[in-house]
A and B are shown apart, each in its own frame.
Chain A
Amino acid sequence: DAGITQSPRHKVTETGTPVTLRCHQTENHRYMYWYRQDPGHGLRLIHYSYGVKDTDKGEVSDGYSVSRSKTEDFLLTLESATSSQTSVYFCAISENSASPDEQYFGPGTRLTVT
């Protein structure tokens, strides 16, 4: 299994509070991604990173920000959580976009915003 961990694994927070989710990898892969999974939508890309300090938006980036100060860590921040951000969040990594390399997924974080 690819070395990807996510923390926390579960979190309950109140509307309006800031939340940061962490993804940590031990594979030294260049690309890292944040997805959210919701019923009826599959997985949707929030943000991704193609290197340290290099990030770009995905299809559902509103209300989220990311940072990558080290190769191994990719942080997802909800500046002011809303109930619509209740979801399961997955981090993924990949080595090379110019190949059919798969994306390896972390175990997921279940976030509930009350």
Chain B
Amino acid sequence: AQTVTQSQPEMSVQEAETVTLSCTYDTSENNYYLFWYKQPPSRQMILVIRQEAYKQQNATENRFSVNFQKAAKSFSLKISDSQLGDTAMYFCAFRDFGNEKLTFGTGTRLTIIP
């Protein structure tokens, strides 16, 4: 079974700084997808960024980028120029190709300090 590990339960950073959230996963599959979801205090789950394992290029979405290291099974999220609205729980998630099931990590609570 796949597992997703987020080793940082909580993090905080000053506004405008850069922060990196770590995620590692375990799988024997070669084709899969990785996601970062954000859950603000409103509780709504919002997709931040996604990565296909067969793509070597790291995904980017504006201030959000990932460092995908397939051999190391690592998928970290970098938030640049952090903003107060980035305060949220962040979940890393994994899905096999052709499999409907998402496996989530336990989350990292990120606080942006004014």
Q: Which residues of A contact B68 (CB under 8 A)?
A: none
Q: Which residues of A contact B47 (CB under 8 A)?
A: 102
> A100-B33, A102-B47, A102-B50 known; A40 and B106 CB under 8 Å?
yes
Residue in A closest to B92 when the chains form the complex, CB atoms: A42
Contact of A97 with B100 in the complex, beta carbons under 8 Å: yes
Chain B binding surface, main DSSP class: loop
Contact of A41 with B106 in the complex, beta carbons under 8 Å: yes
Contact of B43 with A48 in the complex, beta carbons under 8 Å: no
- Chain A residue total in the interface (Cβ 8 A): 23
Chain A binding surface, main DSSP class: strand
> A88-B43, A108-B43 known; A98 and B104 CB under 8 Å?
no
- Which listed residue, A88, A98, A103, A108, touches B102 by the CB 8 Å rule? A103
Given A33-B100, A105-B44, 13 new contacts (CB under 8 A): A42-B105, A42-B106, A43-B102, A43-B104, A48-B100, A92-B45, A98-B97, A100-B50, A100-B52, A102-B35, A105-B45, A107-B43, A108-B43
Can you list 13 A-B contacts with CB-CB less than 8 angstroms, sorted by A residue number?
A: A40-B106, A41-B106, A42-B4, A42-B104, A45-B101, A88-B43, A92-B45, A102-B35, A102-B47, A103-B102, A107-B44, A108-B43, A108-B44
